[in-house]
Amino acid sequence: MIGNFPLTRMRRNRIDSATRRLVAENKLSKDDLIWPIFIIEGNNIETEVSSMPGIKRVTVDRLAAYIEPAANLDIPALALFPVTTNDKRDPEGKEAYNPDNLICRASRELKKRFPEILLIGDVALDPYTSHGHDGIIKNGYVANDETIEILVRQSINQARAGMDFIAPSDMMDGRVAAIRKALDNDNFVNTRIMSYAAKYASVYYGPFRDALESGKLLKGDKKTYQMDPANSREALSEVELDIQEGADSVIIKPGLPYLDIIRMVRDRFNIPIVSYQVSGEYAMLKNAINRGYLDNNQAILETLLCFKRAGANAVMTYFAPVAAKLLKQL
Ligand code: PBG
C-alpha cells in the first residue's frame, strides 16, 4: 500500500477489451475444434437425437449439405459415428470390418466432397455388437486380446476408406501397438492414431448411446474396461502406455468434469491432448440454454475456453459449428 492506495492494481489489466485481449493467456480458435457427427442408414433422412436438442443423425446422401457450413468455417476435423441397425449387429461386431459399412461409405463420400477436412474414425465394437459392449464377450467378460484382433481389422477397414485418424475408444490393453503395427504393414504409415487414452466409465455418455441406439442393448456397464472416475494417477499410466505404443495424440474423456486430468497429463507429457466434451455435457448445457438459464454464446465460448486453459490442444464438441461461427464474429 502507498498511503491508502494499493501499489498493484490487478484491475488495470482488465480496464478495457484491448488490454484484456493483450494479456489473455489462452485463446480459443476454430482450429481447436473437432465436430462429432452421427450417420444413419437410408436416404434423405435427418432425425434429431431427443436427448441432444439441435443434434441430428443424417443419411450419407445428406452429409455433404449437412457439413458444408462447418467446412466453410474451416473446422479442421470431423469425428464420425455410425448408427447401426439391429439386423447388422451380432455378438462379434463383424459389421465393423465390412468395407461397405455405413462409416466407410460416409468416409468415402466426405473425402470425395471435402478432401481437406480430416476424418476421425472411432474404433470400438459397440456400434456393431448385439450386446452393446465395445468388445466381444467370453465367459461374461469383454475379452481383451480377442477383441484387439477385430479392432485391428476395423482400423484397417477405416484407413482404406480414407480416415485420416484412427481413434480407438474401446480401452482394451495393448490395442494401440497392435493397430500401429497393422497400419504400418498395410502402408498406412501416415494414418494417425488419436487414442482415447483416458476414457472414464461415465454417466455422461447416456445421450450418445441414445443417438446410436446402443443404450437399450447394453447389458451391464463398461466398468471392467473404462476407467474409474475415482482415479487420476491411473490416467497418467494409460497415457504413458499409449505414447509408448505409438499414439500421435491422446483423448481425455469426458471433458468438463475431468479438467484436472487434462492438466496432469499436460504437465507430464508433450503429446497433443484432445478433450472430448461428451453428449451428457452437451445435453446439460443445451437444456439450460434452451430454458433461458444460461446465455447461449457465452456458455459455449467460456466452456470451450476452459479446455484450453486446462491444457488441451483441441476439443471434440457438438457445439463445434456454432462455436466456429461465434468465433468468426468476435
Ligand atoms: C464408443 C464411444 C462412446 C462415446 C464415444 N465413443 C460411448 C461409450 O463408450 O459408451 C461417447 C461420446 C459421447 O458421449 O458424446 N466406444
What domains can be seen in the chain, in order of their start residue? Answer: 28-329 (3.20.20.70)
Long-range contact pairs involving 146-153 (C-beta distance under 8 Å, separation at least 24) = 147/172, 147/175, 148/172, 148/174, 148/175, 148/178, 150/92, 150/93, 150/94, 150/96, 150/97, 150/125, 151/96, 151/123, 151/124, 151/125, 151/175, 151/178, 151/179, 152/178, 152/179, 152/182, 153/96, 153/97
Q: What pLDDT sits at residue 167?
A: 98
> Which ligand 1 atom is nearest residue 278's CA?
15
Choose the residue to mutate in 205, 253, 282 for probing ligand 1, maximizing ligand atoms within 8 Å of C-beta: 205
Choose the residue to mutate in 169, 216, 317 for probing ligand 1, maximizing ligand atoms within 8 Å of C-beta: 169
Tell whether 238 is in a known binding site.
yes
d(CA 168, CA 118): 16
Q: How far is the CA of 234 from the CAs of 107, 130, 136, 143, in angstroms?
A: 34, 30, 24, 21
Instruction: Tell me the torsion sign for CA atoms 37, 43, 46, 52.
Output: negative
Beta pairing, strands 165-168 & 314-317: unpaired
Per-residue pLDDT of the chain (330 residues; tens, 9 = 90+): 667 899 999 999 999 999 999 999 999 999 999 999 999 999 999 999 999 999 999 999 999 999 999 999 999 999 999 999 999 999 999 999 999 999 999 999 999 999 999 999 999 999 999 999 999 999 999 999 999 999 999 999 999 999 999 999 999 999 999 999 999 999 999 999 999 999 999 999 999 988 887 778 998 999 999 999 999 999 999 999 999 999 999 999 999 999 999 999 999 999 999 999 999 999 999 999 999 999 999 999 999 999 999 999 999 999 999 999 999 998
Q: What pLDDT sits at residue 79?
A: 98
- The angle at the Cα of 145, spanning 141 to 147, to the nearest 5 degrees, equals 70
d(CA 24, CA 314): 18
- CA-based Rg of the chain, rounded to a whole angstrom? 21
Main-chain dihedrals φ then ψ at residue 138, nearest 5 degrees: -125, 125
Q: What pLDDT sits at residue 2?
A: 66
Here the cell at position 220 is: 451391464
Q: What pLDDT sits at residue 181?
A: 98
Q: Give nearest CA residue, ligand 1 atom 7.
A: 205
Q: What pLDDT sits at residue 4?
A: 86
Q: Give nearest CA residue, ligand 1 atom 6.
A: 169
ipTM at complex level: 0.95
Catalytic annotation present for 94: no
Main-chain dihedrals φ then ψ at residue 294, nearest 5 degrees: -130, 145
Q: What pLDDT sits at residue 330?
A: 82
d(CA 185, CA 204): 37
For ligand 1, whether the C-beta of 134 sits within 6 Å is yes
Main-chain dihedrals φ then ψ at residue 289, nearest 5 degrees: -65, -50
**Angle of helix 102-113 relative to helix 60-72, nearest 10 degrees?**
40
Q: Give nearest CA residue, ligand 1 atom 11.
A: 205
Spatial contact of 289 and 281, defined as CB atoms under 8 Å apart: no
Length of the chain: 330
d(CA 273, CA 265): 8
d(CA 173, CA 192): 19
Contacting residues for 146 by C-beta, under 8 A, at least 6 apart: 135, 136, 138
